[in-house]
Amino acid sequence: MFENWSVDNFLDAFSIILAIIGGIFAYRQWSYANKTRRTELLNQIMEKLRFDKEMAETMYAIDYGTRWYDESFHNSNTDFEYKLDKLLSFLDYICYLKKEKHFAEAEFRILRYEVTRVCTSFQVQSYLWNLYHFSNKQGTTCSFQDLIDYGIDSGSIDHSIFKDKNSGYYPKYLNF
């Protein structure tokens, strides 16, 4: 088979083999670097979510079932709405990253409790329902749409009740 090959043919074949080996090596390095970046991102997200004082306090209020969403919520002088929006924005970002497949399922599992717990909270659902329908009336997308989509897709939020602005299930506090 190789008796008709010239030195140039052997050098070409050897070059191709070296290029393939180099490509495999480069892919492995790229894959490892990508995995390291995702791990660092996940660590930064966990640090912020669990150790940022405002987010932790807000998560505790949700976790322990504190009633905070009522008719005075949007008119109050407390900073709880700001803290809640900060937490929900961060969780929305996490859901966006999951949707765009920046997390593997095993990586997202680390964050699933916080996201799911927030989505199953009736207080949060009521707030999101009001914002969702108010945003729709304004002709725009809700600020927390990826979080809402995750809640619906995971079954934490009932799609048919949430999408119905006249359901009567959630208290209506915004004008839509």
What is the tens place of the pLDDT at every residue in 105-117? 888 999 999 999 9
The pLDDT of residue 15:
94
Token pair for 33: 């670097």
Backbone angles phi, psi at 164, to 5 degrees: -90, 110
- Is a pLDDT exceeding 80 seen at residue 8? yes
Q: How confident is the model at residue 64 (pLDDT cuts 50, 70, 90)?
A: very high
| Number of Cβ atoms within 10 Å of the Cβ of 175 | 8
Q: CA–CA separation, 42 vs 81, rounded Å?
A: 26
Alpha-helix runs per DSSP H in 121-170: 122-137, 145-154, 159-163
The pLDDT of residue 102:
87
Q: CA–CA separation, 168 vs 99, rounded Å?
A: 30
The pLDDT of residue 2:
67
Q: Does the pTM exceed 0.85? A: no
Quick one: average pLDDT of 123-141?
Answer: 96
- Is a pLDDT exceeding 70 seen at residue 1? no
Quick one: average pLDDT of 80-99?
Answer: 96
The pLDDT of residue 99:
96
- Is a pLDDT exceeding 90 seen at residue 35? no
| DSSP state, residue 95 | H
- Is a pLDDT exceeding 80 seen at residue 103? yes
The pLDDT of residue 117:
96
Q: How confident is the model at residue 7 (pLDDT cuts 50, 70, 90)?
A: confident
Token pair for 52: 């940022």
